[in-house]
Structure 1
Amino acid sequence: MRKRLIQIFGFLITSLGWLFVLCTMAMDFWRISQIGGQGGSFIIKVAWYWSNLWKDCFSDSTAVTNCRDFGVLWAVTPYVQGVRGLLMCGLTLGFFAVVLCFVGMDCTYIGGADKTKDKLLLSGAVFHVAGSVADLAAYCLYINRVARTAFASSIGPGILRYDLGPPIFLGLVGCFLILLGAMFYAVTVCRVLCPESQVVYAYGGGTYMSPRSRGRTLYTGYYKPSRLYGSYTGTGRSSSSKISKISQTTRTKKSERDAFV
């Protein structure tokens, strides 16, 4: 029951994160710059320059907005193309991640056996992490471009110093939620990553196996010496002294007098 609740909580968190990232692609005010202020008249003269991934706009104090849509794909600024591509790759990976996680959750009755569902859920968590990293790289690329212009010591004429807008922060929150939900998924299927292992000791013609369990070690197995000294079978713990004596025994050649007797 606790496993199902964690998976449902992770599904809700990751879905909300991808919704945040998807909304940022259509939002305005990715970067914004304000020029002007109170002038010498009774009218406050202010102008705002803002842009997103698809257009550049200008708004004045009279609430009139003029926008210029970006041209064809190859005419757009290279860093804007990079941000678009990374976000689209991240959203595509997120779509497949949501499908895989939905099929692999315990509360759904599709996906096959429990082991298969765990593997599907683990694959979905990996897709979530890869998609969120792609989205995070896109936002960091845009932030780096804006920060380089804003903190430059000198810029050319006609170049504005922009500030970061709300979509950037909303997208960063979405990436954090996606990573958090992927961690919840991974916790519920950690046994797939770290299955219980057994330590096998081979000696002579036999083997000794000591399986690993939680909080204790079980000693079960058998010791079988070479056929040269007969056979020995037993269960439970074997004395180390007896094993050392058997291992130290060597075959000696009989003398002619002993053979005669």
Structure 2
Amino acid sequence: MDPIIEAVALFLGFVSWTMVGITIPNRYWKVSSLDGTVITTSTLYENLWMSCATDSTGVHQCREFPSLLALSGYIQASRALMIAAVVSGTFGVVATLIGMQCSKAGGENYVLKGRIAGTGGVFFLLQGLCTMISVSWYAANITQEFFNPLYPGQKYEIGEALYIGWASAVLAICGGVCLMFSCKLGTEKKTAYSYHPTRETVYSASASRRETQSTYGKNAYV
């Protein structure tokens, strides 16, 4: 595998893994459309863990969600998917570092190192898919509530954290695909040569055998 492709894939995977770590604690997963109105609470925003509000004086107040079981199903699923993305990205970074050709961790067996690097690509791809599903599912619920005229609760818009999550997913998928399709995952191929003796070779071998037998017969009784 080209070391440049390995370095680029590792860079993409590491950046995407870092962006996932930024996305999870970001408070702006969804933001209210009340910003700028002349009321006490000017902005409402939420993430997977808490709900916050900012009044007209700039004072922030946050309240964590009281119960996990009382949350909506998509929030619970998004939490699980984002945690799985962080874990997968961690394994992906470690496996890619070990499987790179310039790394001494895996020894000199480049076939094994290629397989390890390919496994890192699988982890990066899994990280990207988990992040993409989590962020897209969360955004779909925001838009569904926003455009529903019969929805009685507070309507929100897509926050900046979701855009960071989408960018992270794209980078992780690109890095994983580069590693999966560029690494040497198979064993070393050996070219098989078939031997087909010619007629001259057969005659030469027969003549040599007769001469050997004749010599042995002459010297047997000396």
TM range (shorter): 0.7 to 0.9
Task: Report the Cα distance in structure 2 between the residues aligned to 1:19 and 1:95, rounded to whole angstroms.
Answer: 10
Q: Does 1:178 align with 2:172?
A: yes
Structure 1 residues 69 and 46: CA distance shift in structure 2, 3 A:
closer
Partner-residue secondary structure (3-state), 1:81: helix
Q: How many residues align?
A: 198
| Superimposed CA distance per residue, residues 43-79 of structure 1 (whole angstroms, 9 cap, x where no aligned partner) | x876111111111112121112222211132232221
Per-residue displacement from partner, 1:218-243 (whole Å, max 9, x unpaired)? xx5345xxxxxxxxx339xxxxxxxx
- Name the one with the larger strand percent: 1
Shift of 1:176: 0.8
Q: Give the AA of the match of 1:50.
A: Y
The alpha-carbon distance between structure 1 residues 37 and 45, as it changes in their structure 2 partners (threshold 3 A), is farther
Distance 1:141 1:12 in 2: 27
Q: Is the 8 A contact 1:32 1:49 kept in 2?
A: yes
Residue equivalent to 2:54: 59
State the match for 1:161 in structure 2: 155
Residue 194 (structure 2) aligns with: 221
Question: Secondary structure at the residue paired with 2:11?
Answer: helix
Alignment correspondent of 2:185 = 192
> 2:37 & 2:52 partners in 1: Cα distance?
22
Instruction: Report deviation, 1:160.
Output: 1.6
1:127 aligns to what?
123
Matched residue type, 1:62: T
Identity across aligned pairs (percent)? 23
Give the structure 1 partner of residue 202 of structure 2. none
Residue deviations 1:173-232 (CA, integer Å, cap 9, x gap): 01111111123323431x43597697xxxxxxxxxxxx6xxxxxxxx5345xxxxxxxxx
Task: Give the Cα separation in 1 of the matches to 2:37 and 2:22.
Answer: 34
Counterpart code for 2:178: F
Contact 1:222 1:234 in 2 (8 A): no
Which amino acid in the other structure matches residue 159 of structure 2?
G
* Matched residue SS, 1:72: coil
Structure 1 residue ranges (4+ consecutive) displaced by more than 4 angstroms after TM superposition: 36-39, 193-198
Q: Normalization by structure 2: what TM-score? A: 0.80
Q: Look up the equivalent residue of 1:115 and give its one-letter code.
A: V
Any gaps of 5 or more consecutive residues in structure 2?
200-222
Could you list the runs of 5+ residues in structure 1 that have no partner in the other structure? 199-210, 212-219, 224-232, 236-261
Q: What CA distance in whole angstroms lies between the structure 2 residues aligned with 1:52 and 1:19?
A: 18
Shift in Å, 1:141: 1.1
CA root-mean-square deviation: 2.4
Tell me the SS of whatever aligns to 1:73.
coil
| 1:256 counterpart residue number | none
Counterparts of 1:4-15 in structure 2, within 5 Å, are 4-15=3-14
- Indicate the structure whose relative CO is greater, using CA pairs within 8 Å and at least 6 residues apart: 2
- Relative to structure 1, the CA distance from residue 85 to residue 38 in structure 2 (aligned partners, 3 Å threshold; closer, same or farther) is closer
Q: Is the 8 A contact 2:111 2:187 kept in 1?
A: no
